[in-house]
A and B are shown apart, each in its own frame.
Chain A
Amino acid sequence: MLGGEGRRQPLVWERAASLNFSLFFPWFGLDIGGTLVKLVYFEPKDITAEEEEEEVENLKSIRKYLTSNVAYGSTGIRDVHLELKDLTLCGRKGNLHFIRFPTHDMPAFIQMGSEKHFSSLHTTLCATGGGAYKFEQDFRTMGDLQLCKLDELDCLIKGVLYIDSVGFNGRSECYYFENPTDAERCQKLPFNLENPYPLLLVNIGSGVSILAVYSKENYKRVTGTSLGGGTFFGLCCLLTGCSTFEEALEMASHGDSTKVDKLVRDIYGGDYERFGLPGWAVASSFGNMMSKEKRESVSKEDLARATLVTITNNIGSIARMCALNENINRVVFVGNFLRINTISMRLLAYALDYWSKGQLKALFLEHEGYFGAVGALLELLGSA
């Protein structure tokens, strides 16, 4: 079953299927980022008895291990809620699983691959992200594995277009917030990205990349910023002593950034009409922290919230400027910074809408950070 009704048919993978070329399992796509490793795994559900018979022990063990667990070791997690069911890929039906673990656990992952004799399987491991380069040597020496390194941005775009085309188990992959400027009436609604071009793709990982996409093959990296998810998490660790991204977000959700930031109204007593600035706008992030008394009166939660708001607003601001410069009005935000981060998503939706006077629309995708890995998997299948 291929996504929802009225959807475009996938192309590359369709072609592969028509070739009726039997690819060796397992099918993996790997995206090794600065902070997180994203792994997608296609679990075939149409295995014939004959195949089952032939399936080597290693392969079976990998399949069982990945599909029967939701956590791997102390840090690996399978995002069960993202699983795509009954997908047809290269003529095979199955489920697509989404798994992530911290990049610093990469050596353990390679070790595991080595122990499970991954190299004896007749497959290629397609990987993208900076880590594909960084760990290439380790894969070779420790795991006896030859990585197929893939371009990060190619994979990202392929992944986004594919997942959007197949949909999210019958639901829409893409969504937006209606009435983002009205807290009461703001609600998440599906968005039909049928004619996606042109779009501005903002990928927020540890850092941020911004791409202008004009067609599947025609895209360019517009700019990037080093103020990304890594900055939020890094500063939170320093400011609050937290140790996980989830913890940082949890703190942020209980904090009040206006105690930390200096707002326009703190300076002008209200709106700054000369420049059309509303009183609630942040004039200086962390600006109140110039004062000793105020430094002593804020909580860790307030600091975490201010950090989140600062980073998010800044990304929104840069994205908005890029959209204007490129004359694009749809901005799609992806990347793991947005995972379980409704605060940032709403803020981005709000900021884009408000500062562009409704001209720009912020869009989001359910599979936030996994598109690079999906793209890597598609490359594996497409190149076969």
Chain B
Amino acid sequence: MDLLTALYSCSEKATYGCKVKGGSLTKLAYYSTVQHKVARVRSFDHSGKDIEHEPLYEISVQEEITARLHFIKFENTYIETCLDFIKDHLVNTETKVIKATGGGAYKFKDLIEKKLGLKVDKEDVMTCLIKGCNFVLKNIPHEVFAYQKDSDTEFRFQTNHPNIFPYLLVNIGSGVSIVKVETEDKFEWIGGSSIGGGTFWGLGALLTKTKKFDELLQLASKGQHTNVDMLVKDVYGGAYQTLGLSGNLIASSFGKSTTADKEFSKEDMAKSLLHMISNDIGQLACLYAKLHNLDKIYFGGFFIRGHPVTMRTITYSINFFSKGEVQALFLRHEGYLGAIGAFLKGAEQDNPNQYSWGENYAGSSGLMSTSPDVFPMQRTRSGTFDMFEMDRLERPLVNLPLLKDPSTYIPDTVDLTDDAMARKYWLTCFEEALDGVAKRAAASQPDSIDASERAEKFRQKYWNKLQTLRQQPFAYGTLTVRSLLDTREHCLNEFNFPDPYSKVKQKENGIALKCFQSVIESLDSLGWEERQFALVKGLLAGNVFDWGAKAVSDVLESEPQFGFEEAKSKLQERPWLEDSYSQWLERLKEGPPHKCALIFADNSGIDIILGVFPFVRELLSRGTEVILACNSGPALNDVTYSESLIVTERIAAMDPVIQSALREEKLLLVQTGSSSPCLDLSRLDKGLAVLVRERETDLVIIEGMGRAIHTNYYAALKCESLKLAVIKNSWLADRLGGKIFSVIFKYEVPCK
């Protein structure tokens, strides 16, 4: 049984949860405060200075302290090492008590008390498990998956449902516990079975003389259960077909071994045993689900833990007994649930549940990624070292209240786990771009001696992640362009490149600001209809300026105004690839002004200043309030919230419309809560969501490839929406049936 320990040390600001599994793996959970570099922007005091020749704002790299949860898993033989590790980190702390639970608590109590000099305080194993389960279900997108052995996508990840309750957790350890979870704190043991992992292991060891659990599973994967089991066709002869029965159903497990004189192979017996136990558990789980009217069943415990063989048999059984009505679901971080829960239990004073957390792709090993050749059998477990990290996010994240159906919203347009061709393209694309990204990262810190060394480490780490994903696309949940981009950002951060584009953005913002007034003047000189078109074109042209475009930045430096014009000329002529501009224009012409527009901005510089702001200004002039949402943290050359504050302040100084809108709070700047070049509308800053509701937002504008094409292209909203982007990738353009620089202008009105 499990031993769970969790200890809390206030003075160190580190909390430990330790889960020790008899005979297999040790899990250590600890909470740390991580110091890492962040780029900060600060407006200069410009009074009496030469504005013309000063940079727009000051960039400084500062140390920031953020909270991170670490979960490490290693072989149980290192229990003493594990305790040493905890002890080393407990120096000079006030901690006197360590929390432990489960049967193992008896076994390890003395060792822990002696080794750490702490009193062991028992915690309930199931409470920890459920706490951990709720935590991952809430905080990790793509935590849940269904297993489908015979399909292209073995791991089918599920979208997080906004309401995770109620659910059934079937924990298959040595026995089986079936727990109904109704709320964060309310759960009930509704049943169980003694036929579980221990039965497979114990009975399997007796029958096959094979001692190890993994070896038994290996035997089972090679066996033929039909040699041992009595099937329906063995009872009915050939006639089962005419009766509409499936002849291959097992009528009696081990029904053919009812004889003393026949020998049966180890493999066959192991397979028969596996089927017997999996079917039995599946049947009971279905009966309990039916009795309690539940349709979500998560399976966990050592019997399941990352074993494709058992996930497959359990999936089959659930499907069979529920007649396809219930799906067996598994959790990516199932092995860590107890440790996470123990940690949460120990850290209740500093309630981690009040925060949102995000998986750190850089610090986490993926699902079964330690060895690529895992199928049909699981990797060998010796030496397995697995880890999982979660960062505490500064602000809680929630759904955009305007999502039409939060439970079916999927941010990503293409599932790369599913689409092998797209996967191949994008992985290659990211591989090819990697050297450039590493170079730019190094170049962004010219004053740092170890910048190139760190850039190389970053390159290596991200390269390895890409290779893992080639082998196991499901390693971190559903693979998407967004997850590839986010992983790269996490890796850059890991090696202290918090914002490689900070200087580029600073320069671009400065240049674009200089052009703002002339752009406004030329727009104001146009007639209404012409102006509407010019505004949209400006928005699209601004979007052409992107991180990769070296040529663009050269042009910018010399003749910024010209660059903007040239970008406009590069745009596809109407009709665009996706073109509902006429409907948009009609709406502006005929309909009442929108009450409030929410705009998700994309790039710094030309895009935000010459594209988005003139558009915002027009909306304000129409009497529409505007919420401008920018990323909380840096990603590529995307404009960050703090940059947007400075930029807006400067524009306001030039433009009375913007100025008065700011003063009257008709133009509001908010942060998205994200640091991704893409956009997940189900994980947005709570402040933004509150504001959206307060202002009765009735128009959402999403701009750029990352936010409007890679993600949200199919997102359905409750209000009018505008998704616009220029496709700057020829492969993607081709796939969508267009050419590079094709334009997407998607205006949608929800059906009544």
Contact = CB atoms under 8 A, between A and B. Distances in A.
B284 interface: yes
A230 interface: yes
B255 A234 contact: yes
B260 interface: yes
A180 B251 CA distance: 30
B196 A284 contact: yes
Interface string A273-285: 0111100011111
Interface stretch (B197-205, B534-542, B652-660, B682-690): B197-205
Contacts of A123: none
25 contacts: A226-B279, A227-B253, A234-B256, A235-B203, A238-B207, A260-B202, A262-B175, A274-B124, A275-B126, A281-B194, A282-B175, A283-B174, A284-B173, A284-B197, A284-B202, A285-B175, A285-B194, A287-B198, A289-B205, A290-B201, A295-B206, A303-B206, A313-B194, A317-B193, A325-B291
Contacts of B257: 234-235, 237-238
Interface stretch (B9-17, B230-238, B488-496, B664-672): B230-238
Given A130-B235, A230-B230, A206 B287 contact: no
A283 B126 contact: no
Contacts of B587: none
A226 B256 CA distance: 12
B702 interface: no
A87 interface: no
A108 interface: no
Interface in A131-150: 131, 133-137
B122 to A, nearest CB: 10
B254 interface: yes
A33 interface: yes
B525 interface: no
A288 interface: yes
A284 B126 contact: no
A207 B251 contact: yes
B199 A225 contact: no
B698 interface: no
Contact of B253 (A131, A226, A243): A226
Interface in B174-202: 174-175, 177, 189, 191-199, 201-202
A377 to B, nearest CB: 21
Nearest to B206: A289
Interface string B448-487: 0000000000000000000000000000000000000000
A226 B283 CA distance: 11
B618 interface: no
A206 B269 CA distance: 17
Interface in A197-252: 205-207, 223, 225-231, 233-235, 237-239, 241-243
B290 interface: yes
Contacts of A226: 229, 249-253, 255, 276, 279
A223 B238 CA distance: 23
Nearest to A292: B211
Given A234-B258, A314-B193, 18 more contacts: A130-B232, A134-B237, A134-B238, A206-B230, A207-B230, A223-B321, A226-B252, A231-B276, A235-B257, A261-B194, A284-B173, A284-B175, A284-B202, A286-B199, A288-B202, A313-B194, A314-B195, A318-B283
Interface residues of B, number: 66
A286 B197 CA distance: 10
A34 B255 contact: yes
Contacts of A47: none
B243 to A, nearest CB: 7
B258 A230 contact: yes
Contact of A133 (B201, B228, B239, B254): B239
Interface string B244-268: 0000011111111111110010000
A288 B255 CA distance: 24
Which 4 residue pairs spanning A and B have beta carbons closest together?
A: A289-B202, A134-B237, A234-B254, A230-B252
A59 B239 CA distance: 31
Contacts of B214: none
B189 A230 contact: no
Contacts of B201: 286, 289-290
Interface in B71-103: 102-103
A71 B243 CA distance: 35
Contacts of A243: 259-261
B283 A223 contact: yes
Interface string B118-156: 000000101100000000000000000000000000000
Interface string B266-284: 0001000000100110011
A324 B287 CA distance: 9
Contacts of B547: none
Nearest to B264: A238
A134 B174 contact: no
A325 B199 contact: no
Nearest to B23: A290
Given A231-B254, A241-B260, A269-B106, A284 B283 contact: no
A56 interface: no
Nearest to A206: B252
A321 interface: yes
B426 interface: no
A262 B258 CA distance: 26
B642 to A, nearest CB: 49
B236 A231 contact: no
A206 B291 contact: no
